[in-house]
Amino acid sequence: MASWMVGIDTGGSFTDLIAFDPDTGERRIAKVPSRPDDPSAAVMDALDELFQSGVDPGGIEFLVHGTTVATNAILEGRGARTGLLITRGFRAVYEGRGWSQPAPEDLADPYYVKPTLLAPQSLTEEITERLDYLGNVQTPLDEDDVRRAVASLKGKEVEAVAVNFLFSFRNPEHEERTAAIIAEMAPEWRVSVSSRILPTIREYPRLSTTVIDAFVGRSMQDYLLRLVDRLRVAGIETPQIFLMQSNGGLMRMNVGARYPNQTLLSGPAAGVVSGIELAAVLGRRNLVTFDMGGTSTDISVIRDGRSEETTAGRIAGQDLATPMLAVHTLGAGGGTIAWIGKDGLMKVGPRSAGADPGPACYGRGGELPTVTDANLLLGALGDSSALGGRLRLDRARAEEAVRTGLAEPLGLDVMEAAAGVLKIVNNNMAVELRLALQYRGVDPRDFVLVAFGGAGPLHAGVLAEELQIPAVLVPPNPGLNSALGLLQTQVRHLYLLSDLGLVSDYDPARMNQRFEELRLRAVEDIREEHFELSEAVFRRQVDMRYLHQGYELSVDCPDREMVEADKAGLKARFDELHGTVYGLSAKDEDAEIVTFRLLAEIAVPRLTPPPLEPGEPGVEHAVIGRRPLFDLKRGEFLEAVVLDRGRLLAGNWIDGPAVIEQLDATTVLPESQHATVDPFGNIVIERGENHGS
């Protein structure tokens, strides 16, 4: 019996599946509408399609899931009713949000509304206790205070609670005792403790991350338990069932229920992983991943074959400090709604029609104009473009939505209004792409734009021309690319612990003790995931900074016990890295160790896509029709050739204007561009003269 690897990614509009038999190279795909009311049902819908294609459930030996359950709980405010216990005198820390100002675009919005606190002041209780910055007890924990606070929150029907005390990362004693009291008085609550969730410096990021964990924890736990039950009922018995984390690594589903904050960028991280793999296979070191789905667009910069990591994430105005791949998300997708603002101008996003009801042209009850409706009216999509023709797009409904929602109120004809939708959403995405590159001080002309997601290839050609990015690369299954990325990584856990001290004064024995504390945490998770300790590869790092700096850089440490002589090498590596990143260093100044890091990785099966069959340059064999395609630059319709991507071969050459259709996405090639198909099946779009064939 064949053994299958399966990746399933749940997006806002569609749930994508890709299955691969590593022994034969056989591949199966499925794409089904997401089900916001019960995402696990959409996962089973995708698996049902796989089973109907002849795959035996018992033959699935490895399954990875990327989920938006935790993210959607924040976006839609559907998490647990969350209380907060905080050190007395510090209840304003959460509401102050680190005393940061809104984003520039929000500052310019006279109707800006501050994001809602996930744990409001009415559910915040101050606790008498205090540690100093070294973790020494200044004021003992008042246990009666804790009991009073828990009783008060029980009366307010709280379902989860976050515990965040000052300097608890140095000494978790007060937080742990508080958690024990809560367990006695309210065993039904989910308790998130900051010294377990994120034992690092900086009070507000640690606090916000802990509150997020409490807010989404119950939803995530219930979802995972429900999904595991459904998988077992369906006959999938493999213990190798994993979740994608925001850091681009995997963890077992049973562990995922304990760390829901680590899955908030699960799907986008998988797309970045796929981009990193693509960079390695093609030898292209500098890529920008452009993942445009049904509800949002995710952008990440891959430089020298590596994606940056960040601890400064934000979702719907909520700050998250869990280490994650650096992905910037904006509200621009196929289902993004176009509307008229209070200033009388057309806007596009961030609100989305999502999977239910979806764009007006889906015929599921949606009445508001969306980006997908505009693409249908302007020829980028055909009536049978979606899901390989299984989802018929209703042009009349799209036209009615654009006419009533935009054209008539603005005094435009329908096609002008539809073109306006695309111009605005393209401009929004171009701005974010440009900022992502400028922030890193790099030249767009040195990068390749990798377009995926169900809507990414529709817009990528225009965006690349706007930003002077020389080439666009569209993977073989762009609409399933995040599902593919789920099968191209490994198990990865990162453990953090802040313990500040000058390098010159730091006792190596103390450093070894901190790394050992992290290793014990890793060993516990490795055993819970049913791996052998010998399978794990550990990497040790410390975050360092110069005195009075407010940011750190991660520096590798020797893979053994530290000795006094190692400190000079540690400082030298930090100086070199600081010089590389910022252009200068202070070799004569002391440096400070801030946070210890331990990365544990375990290899698991990986998908390797096969090469494409070679062919001649001509594409007559792939032509399935022609239709008018609106050219945004020229402001008129041009006749475009329509191609079936499944018939394309390596070496084929395509002149624009052209539309390339497949089950999971549609690629648009403007008149000013041409494309070739590389040996791995990627469509490579470039500016330049047409081939003429």
What 8-state DSSP symbol labels residue 12?
A: S
**Tokens 């029907």, located at residue:** 157
- End of a domain among 263, 286, 320? 263
**Whether residue 57 is found in the same domain as residue 101:** no
Q: Which domain holds residue 524?
A: 492-602
Query: Quick one: 248 and 138 in the same domain?
Result: no
pTM here is 0.84
The two beta strands, 309-310 and 313-315, are unpaired
Whether residues 64 and 29 share a domain: the answer is yes
Helix or strand run (H / E) with residue 623: strand 623-631
Q: Does residue 449 belong to any structural domain of this protein?
A: no
Alpha-carbon distance 446 to 471, whole Å? Answer: 10
Q: Put residue 304 in one of left, alpha, beta given phi > 0 → left and psi -120 to 50 → alpha.
A: left
Q: What is the pLDDT of residues 89-110, one digit of tens each?
A: 999 999 988 877 776 656 666 7
How does pLDDT run across 332-382, given as a tens digit for each residue? Answer: 889 999 999 988 999 998 888 876 788 999 988 999 999 999 999 999 999
Q: Which position has the token pair 């990021």? A: 205
Distance CA 276, CA 285 (A): 9
Q: At what angle are helices 414-439 and 395-402 packed, to 10 degrees? A: 80
Tally of CA atoms within 13 A in the half-sphere of 524 that contains its CB: 9
290: in domain: no
Within 13 A of 582's CA, how many CA atoms are on the CB side?
14
Residues 56 and 112 in one domain: no
Q: Among residues 164, 192, 218, which one ends one of the domains?
A: 218
Q: Are residues 107 and 46 in the same domain?
A: no
Q: What percent of the residues of the chain are helix, what percent strand, and what percent coil, each to the nearest 5?
A: 35, 25, 35
The whole-angstrom separation of Cα 219 and Cα 223 is: 6
The terminus-to-terminus CA distance of the chain in angstroms comes to: 46
Which CATH number goes with the domain that contains 549?
A: 3.30.1490
326 domain residue, yes or no? no
Residues 214 and 244 in one domain: no
Domain co-membership, 383 together with 414: yes
pLDDT of residue 388: 59
Distance CA 87, CA 241 (A): 39
- Residue 412 inside a domain? The answer is yes
Task: Supply the pLDDT for residue 385.
Answer: 63
Burial profile 426-445: b = 16 or more Cβ within 10 angstroms, e = fewer: bebbbebbeebbeeeeeebe
The DSSP code sequence of 158-223 is --EEEEE-TTTTT--HHHHHHHHHHHHH-TTSEEEEHHHH---S-HHHHHHHHHHHHHHHHHHHHH
Amino acid letter, 176? E
For residue 258, tell me if it sits in a domain: yes
pLDDT at 498: 95
pLDDT at 690: 59
Pair (107, 55) in one structural domain: no
Our count of domains for the chain comes to: 4
Cβ within 8 Å of residue 553, ≥6 positions away: 543, 544, 545, 574, 577, 578, 581
User: Given 602, 633, 666, which residue is the final one in a domain?
Assistant: 602
Whether 248 and 352 map to the same domain: the answer is: no
Give residue 59's pLDDT: 92
User: What's the CATH code of the domain at 166?
Assistant: 3.40.1360
What is the pLDDT, as a whole number, of residue 8? 95
Residue 41: Cβ within 10 Å count? 15
pLDDT per 10-residue tile (average), the chain, 693 residues: 86 84 85 85 94 92 88 81 97 86 68 86 97 95 97 96 96 97 96 95 94 92 89 91 92 83 85 87 90 88 86 83 87 91 90 84 92 96 71 91 96 96 96 90 92 94 95 92 89 93 95 96 89 93 94 92 94 93 91 96 82 85 95 94 94 95 93 94 84 48
Enter the tokens of residue 359. 């764009």
Residue 501 inside a domain? The answer is yes
CB atoms closer than 10 angstroms to residue 578: 21
Residues 6+ apart with CB under 8 A from 253: 65, 224, 227, 228, 241, 242, 243
Same-domain status, 19 and 90: no
Query: Pairing relation of β-strands 653-655 and 636-644?
Result: unpaired
User: Do residues 504 and 389 both lie within one domain?
Assistant: no
Classify residue 467: in a domain, yes or no: no
Hey, what are 643's tokens?
């191609």
Looking at residue 693, what is its pLDDT?
42
CATH of the domain at 25: 3.30.420.40
Nearest Cα residue to 663 out of 679, 678, 647, 646? 646
Q: Would you state the pLDDT for residue 567?
A: 94
Report yes or no on 470 lying in a domain: no
CA 21/CA 632 separation, integer angstroms: 43
CA distance 153 to 121: 12
Give the integer Cα–Cα distance in Å for 351 and 69.
Answer: 18
Residues 84 and 212 in one domain: yes
